[in-house]
Amino acid sequence: MTVSGLLTARDIIAQCKEKDDLGDCIILPCNVLQSDSDLFLDDLRIEDVEREIGVGIRISGTDGYGMLSAMLGMRIE
């Protein structure tokens, strides 16, 4: 587990609500979710966070390829 695995949906919502422009989406590492799930540590779902912050969420892998894939919206190998 990495430090990002300790982030809760409520933490993310609180930080994002303070920002004026989040762009089209935010990218989060897969570590923020429970294994094989769309649930955060505090049992909120991705769609709950999207609704609260008003933008979509893309989940990325934990390496550079995963981040780039999420940024481009495509799978990179």
d(CA 54, CA 52): 6
> Quick one: average pLDDT of 27-39?
91
> Which conformational region is residue 36 in: left (phi greater than 0), alpha (psi within -120 to 50 degrees), or beta?
left
Query: Which amino acid, residue 15?
Result: Q
Q: Model confidence over 38-57: pLDDT tens digits?
A: 999 999 999 999 999 999 99
Whether the CB-CB separation of 50 and 17 falls below 8 Å is answered with: no
CB contact set of 10 (below 8 Å; sequence gap of 6+): 42, 44
pTM, to two decimals: 0.80
